[in-house]
């Protein structure tokens, strides 16, 4: 089943917590992280990589867009991705989560509803970089950027959020492990 949803893969970070290494090209079992994630996205109609260095992806058959708003963290990449996506709904993923479960990605692909954002939450941790955003959240994201409020959680207060309680899902422990991101 193809989802009429885009995926925005955030790969624009500086890697400051990892000696300035581009995390999307770190490898696990001989494959770069971003490739591992892309292999799990076959049912989405569009995949976009947001990067400050799009030239690094030239040899790959992927759509890469240069981050419009650099040096403000993930909110800038989300803004750029939503603005350029073909579809109204976009799954936002960080490039440093190669262990994200394909089954959970599929679960997010099937979500429907009148929500602006669908955000997983597990053990009281919100996962805004593994969440489904609709384009109608662009105005609030843009307003936050203009106000120099770069924490994604700030926009949750202004939008209709569907909180997905991972602890209530089958295989919740395995799903939670998939949120592990590589920073050190």
Is the pLDDT confidence value at 145 over 60? yes
pLDDT tens-place string over residues 45-76: 999 999 988 888 888 888 999 998 888 999 99
pLDDT score, position 184: 44
Q: Say if residues 111 and 132 touch (Cβ distance below 8 Å).
A: yes
Q: The whole model's pTM is what?
A: 0.89
pLDDT score, position 174: 66
Quote the crossing angle between the two packed helices 74-84 and 138-146, to the nearest 10°.
140
pLDDT score, position 158: 93
d(CA 13, CA 140): 22
Which positions ≥6 away from 178 have C-beta within 8 Å? 97, 99, 100, 101, 104, 130
Residue 89, beta-bridge partner list: 134
CATH of 3-177, one of 3.90.550.10, 3.40.50.300, 3.20.20.70, 1.10.1040.10: 3.90.550.10
Segment 86-100 shows an average pLDDT of 93
């Amino acid at each position: 089943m193809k989802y009429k949803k885009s995926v925005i893969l955030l790969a624009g970070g500086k890697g400051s917590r990892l000696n300035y290494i581009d995390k999307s090209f770190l490898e696990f079992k001989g494959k770069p992280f971003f490739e591992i994630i892309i292999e799990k996205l076959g049912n989405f109609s569009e995949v976009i990589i947001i990067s400050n260095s799009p030239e690094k992806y030239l040899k790959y058959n992927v759509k890469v867009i240069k981050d419009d708003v650099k040096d403000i963290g993930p909110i800038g990449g989300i803004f750029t991705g939503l603005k350029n996506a073909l579809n109204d709904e976009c799954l936002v993923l960080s490039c440093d989560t190669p262990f994200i479960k394909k089954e959970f990605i599929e679960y997010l692909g099937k979500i429907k509803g009148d929500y602006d954002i669908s955000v997983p939450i597990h053990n009281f941790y919100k996962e805004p970089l593994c969440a489904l955003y609709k384009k109608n959240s662009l105005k609030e994201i843009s307003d936050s950027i203009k106000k120099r409020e770069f924490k994604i959680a700030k926009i949750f207060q202004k939008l209709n959020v569907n909180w997905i309680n991972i602890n209530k899902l089958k295989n919740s422990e395995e799903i939670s492990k998939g949120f592990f991101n590589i920073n050190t």
